[in-house]
Structure 1
């Protein structure tokens, strides 16, 4: 799955992923968007309620209580790292545009699909 970060907890292989459905789950649970949550966590990184909700939303099928138990098993630093990695995977930095892709005139000209005029 694109953007999924694998981890093991409770003897099970799991993934955390901030898909469209996960972002909607988070917003339904919290009343704020995923981007608002990330901004708020930058100001208050010790907001455990928000971190647990993010983890719960990112791992489909977990209640908030189950998410908290898994976070305790993993350790809070590892859980926070998984959230960060999943967020980075969901919103990767755009690829830099090369000079040829930007159309600097050094690339090959586009082929004409039409007939040549005589």
Structure 2
């Protein structure tokens, strides 16, 4: 899917694209990927508070989706940010949100 970006910094945001109950047009599964094992892992991981277990399931789901080839990546975004000397606190995060709350300019710069 072209131009898909994450809404929040969790792998579930991307993995939900291949969940069969999210078929388009009512959901984001435009590939109509349908794998019962994938769906089972998705459902078991949803709402799971134990991060290690959730990420383990995410890795299993990613492996299934990539072996089923529901899509072919054509390109990916690259982010470049330029700043002046004396600017601190600017960081890049997994979903590429521009967070300016901690950005500061040092005096006399």
TM-score range, shorter chain: under 0.3
Q: Which has the larger radius of gyration?
A: 1
Flag the structure with higher strand content. 1
Task: Give the TM-score taking structure 2 as reference length.
Answer: 0.28
Task: Give the TM-score taking structure 1 as reference length.
Answer: 0.26
